[in-house]
Amino acid sequence: MASLAGLGAPSLAAALLFSAGALVLCSLAAIRSHGGLAIAGRRAVTMAFAFTGLASVALISALFAHDFSLSYVARYSSRSLSGPYTLGAFWGGMEGSLLFWTLLLTGFSAVALERSRAATPRLGAWAGAVLSGITVFFLLLLVAPASPFTSLSPVPADGSGLNPLLQSPGMMIHPPLLYTGFVGFSIPFAFAMAALLSKRLDPSWFTSTRRWTLFSWSALSIGIVLGGAWAYTELGWGGYWAWDPVENASFMPWLTATAFLHSVVIQEKRQMLKVWNVSLILITYALAVFGTFLTRSGILSSIHTFTEGPIGKWFLPFLGVMLLGGLGIVLARLNELRATNRFDSLVSRESAFLANNVLFVAAAFAVLWGTIYPIIAEVFTGVRLSIGPPFFNSVFVPLGLAIIGLTGIGPLISWRRMSKGSFGRVVRVPLVAGVLMAVALAIAGVSSVGALLAFSLCAFTAMAIGSEFVRGSRVHRLQQRMDWGRALTTTVARNRRRYGGYIVHLGVILIVIGIAGSAFRTERHSLLEMGESMTIGDYELTYSDLSRSETDEKSINTAVIDVTSAGRADGSLFPQRNFHRAQGQPQSEVAIRTGPIEDLYVVITSFDTDGAAAIRAFVNPLTWWIWVGAAVMLGGMTVLLWSPAPVRVTERVRSESRRPVTVTR
Amino acid sequence: MEQPQTPYVAPRRTRFIVGAVVIAVVLVGLVVWAMARPGAASMYMTPTEVGDMVLLDGEIRMSGTVVPGSIETTGLATSFLVTDGTSEVPVTTDSPMPDAFMDSSEVVAIGSLDGDSFVATRVLAKCPSKFKAKA
């Protein structure tokens, strides 16, 4: 079968030429305020996108045509690989994933620049220059050191196939979502730099890119959760997050982006924190690029760094130029970035937002420290170290709990200042809910302080958010004589930014409940002959049968594990341990019975020579809520993305004005 | 939270600096405390370095490749030799082995030294670099 592989390298070269052209044109357009040049620059960006698209089509067609004359195709796919996973091989390896990154970058750039042309022409020209600069870097990598179109000789009869671990539905969505998130931050980053370069430091740089920020942040959030879901269902160690360097690499930009999403609200409403906001988006984007570097350089050992590519050394100078250039321009504009307002009171919405930012940035710093400490220690002391989950958990639990509490308090406080009396009134009901939760759990015998605090804070914050919904709906119900359902939907629809945010917060609370449940995880590991049983929690697991079958790809061994829960027969689970021929590797397939109370998680870790199965079983309480929480977050994100961008940003915020409760009570 | 009404209010810049210092101290304290937690930081060593050590306290991560033919399984227990090309260290473990664990796998054994043998509480493995992939 013929493939379009021959088009790949020329397309990339053309894309490089066009993006270099766009860099020159957009820079000139920005410096000279020349409309014609700006149009030409935007067209060049679009052409770079078209040719990157053509190169992507070439690689995908080569994958589907099994054109093993391309080294990339031979390394990451095989004849027996099924269709969707053949597409997955497009981003399954280093070169392909860089091409995919560049495809997203050029596509996002083209759309964002096109959309900005009317409202913010000068900003758009500078942003085009910044984006084209980034594109040139990635295309240079793709043309020379990391070309996906390097040919292989002699041509092998079959490829080595995709790692069986990656052959999972989650892996079809998780990497593209993470890349979408990482690359999407290019847009607010470029517009922030454009604002600094053009001295247009009003909020238009982030209001015009608000949807990009939200969209990228949403993609990153869901991508991270899906990565956890993949680890949970595929890796067979019973957990979903291991503080692996590459997991951290996706989590750090998420933390700073979350801080950014919150702190731009202060700039929008109160014209404060301008330096902070441009710095945050700079840090977020630098962390996103750093994450790509970590994944690609193999500098840290990680489950993800199978590919120790030759491109690591290219990323550091790029990162350096970006960070130093960014910081330099921020410093050069310090005067223009001075705040026009000040903090009025410690008990104010501004302070709550600021505390939120401090916590998120501190968390990002702690994760960064734990991730790069081994590198620093090796450089300075020659000792090679590894930082494990106990460090990250110890740092993260207090910071995370503080963030959860603040999520509840923040929306209750009014802008500028609030009297102690009104603060006490709005905090009372959630506080009672939190205390009741702690007392109930303590009576039920929960002794883990972390878990007690987590569940109480979740109850507090859920009640605080819930009361916001009730308060809003009550106004609509009374004023417009609606029933509660209509009133609730009207409330959300009328103020999508606020209530969309609350829905996201509720999702986060559910996720935290799911994570806190892991404090009660139990695990057993037993060697079972056929017919033998093991117990875990209230369950008795009996290894009752084994069946074997063969496919082109693998030999499948399916065990039948009969489950008895609290003495009653309760169906069966079917974990597998399969042998993948192309990779010469065994692979366990986990069997999970999931539910809101707890998951029963069973995996065969090995078969003995005489047929006995080593069974590892977990009972994971509340894990189900993590996925439900992510779905709720996705709902909230949809509401947020659906909301129109704010039209006017200079509206004055009066103290306690948005607090109908003080009026109606 | 009742606060006494004080007539004296520190200047804005002073309050800002005090706040920033307090936050920085708390954060650094948190990180230092977390680094000292058991299992937070462990030494990363080669089999040669492990062999040269006289006394080793705490958790170690030993990385190397599995000597082909050295894997023995008895019930849930697994034993094998790890090499860096110079020295070989025997490893025993009761923990479940990852799928990629086989002859010539690159492994990281996490545990501690007991006499001449390395007792692992967890073993991580990367398949022999016959094929590569990324997640």
**CA distance to partner chain B, nearest, from residue A163 (Å):** 6
CB A5, CB A69: distance < 8 Å? yes
Radius of gyration of chain B (CA): 24
Q: Which of A265, A211, A185 is nearest to A640 (CA)?
A: A211
Indicate the pTM of the whole model.
0.89
B135 → closest Cβ in A304, A387, A391: A304
Domain boundaries, chain A: 1-167, 522-621
Residues 6+ apart with CB under 8 A from A622: A513, A514, A516, A517, A518, A520, A596, A597, A598
* Residue that wins the pLDDT comparison between A195 and A301: A195
Question: Which chain A residues are within 8 Å of B41, Cβ to Cβ?
Answer: 373, 385-388, 391
A385 → closest Cβ in B43, B124, B132: B43
* Residue that wins the pLDDT comparison between A92 and A636: A636
**CA distance to partner chain B, nearest, from residue A508 (Å):** 23
Q: What is the pLDDT of residues A469-523, one digit of tens each?
A: 988 888 888 888 788 888 888 888 888 888 999 999 999 999 999 999 998 999 9
User: Residue A511: its pLDDT value, please?
Assistant: 96
Q: What is the pLDDT of residues B107-122, one digit of tens each?
A: 889 888 888 889 999 8
Does residue A267 have a pLDDT over 70?
yes
**CA distance to partner chain B, nearest, from residue A558 (Å):** 16
Q: How far apart are CA A394 and CA A379, in angstroms?
A: 25
From the options 1.10.10.10, 3.30.930.10, 2.40.50.140, 3.30.70.100, give the CATH code of B43-126.
Answer: 2.40.50.140
User: Residue A382: its pLDDT value, please?
Assistant: 76
User: Residue A28: its pLDDT value, please?
Assistant: 94
Q: How far apart are CA A600 and CA A536, in angstroms?
A: 9
Site of tokens 């919904």: A469
Alpha helices in A298-418 (DSSP H): 312-332, 349-381, 389-409
Cα A608 to its chain centre, rounded Å, is 40
Q: Chains A, B: CB contacts under 8 A, how many?
A: 140
Handedness of CA A118, A119, A122, A126 (dihedral sign): negative
Q: What is the pLDDT of residues A46-91, one digit of tens each?
A: 999 999 999 999 999 999 999 999 999 998 888 888 888 899 889 8
CB A20, CB A46: distance < 8 Å? no
CB A579, CB A586: distance < 8 Å? yes
C-alpha pair distances (Å), A288 with each of A249, A305, A315, A485, B92 = 7, 16, 12, 41, 40
Residues 6+ apart with CB under 8 A from A496: A639, A640, A642, A643
Q: What is the pLDDT of residues A147-159, one digit of tens each?
A: 999 888 888 888 8
Interface contact A165-B135, CB threshold 8 A: yes
**CA distance to partner chain A, nearest, from residue B100 (Å):** 7
Q: How far apart are CA B128 and CA A15, in angstroms?
A: 37
CA A129-A132-A138 angle, to 5 degrees, is 150
B42 → closest Cβ in A92, A171, A385: A385
Which DSSP string do the residues of A274-309 spell out, in sequence order? HHHHHHHHHHHHHHHHHHHHHHHH--S--SSTT---
Write the Ramachandran bin of B75: left for phi over 0, alpha for psi from -120 to 50, otherwise beta.
left
Neighbours of B25 (CB within 10 A): 10
With 0-12 / 13-18 / 19 or more C-beta atoms within 10 angstroms meaning exposed / middle / buried, residue A611 is exposed
H-run or E-run covering A545? strand A539-550
Burial A242-270 (b: 16+ CB within 10 A, else e): bbbbbbbbbbbbbbbbbbbbbbbbbbbbb
Interface contact B131-A391, CB threshold 8 A: no
DSSP-derived 3-state class of residue A658: coil
Q: What is the pLDDT of residues A313-370, one digit of tens each?
A: 788 889 999 999 999 999 998 888 877 777 767 778 888 888 899 999 999 999 999 9
Does residue A663 have a pLDDT over 60?
no
Site of tokens 């370095």: B49
User: Residue B8: its pLDDT value, please?
Assistant: 64
Interface contact A386-B44, CB threshold 8 A: yes
**CA distance to partner chain A, nearest, from residue B115 (Å):** 22
Neighbours of A393 (CB within 10 A): 17
* Residue ranges of E strands in A112-173: none
- The encoded tokens of residue A65 equal 């045509």
Give the residue from A85, A341, A385 with the most B CB atoms within 10 Å of its CB, the best one to mutate: A385
Radius of gyration of chain A (CA): 27
Does residue A306 have a pLDDT over 60?
no
Interface contact B94-A525, CB threshold 8 A: yes
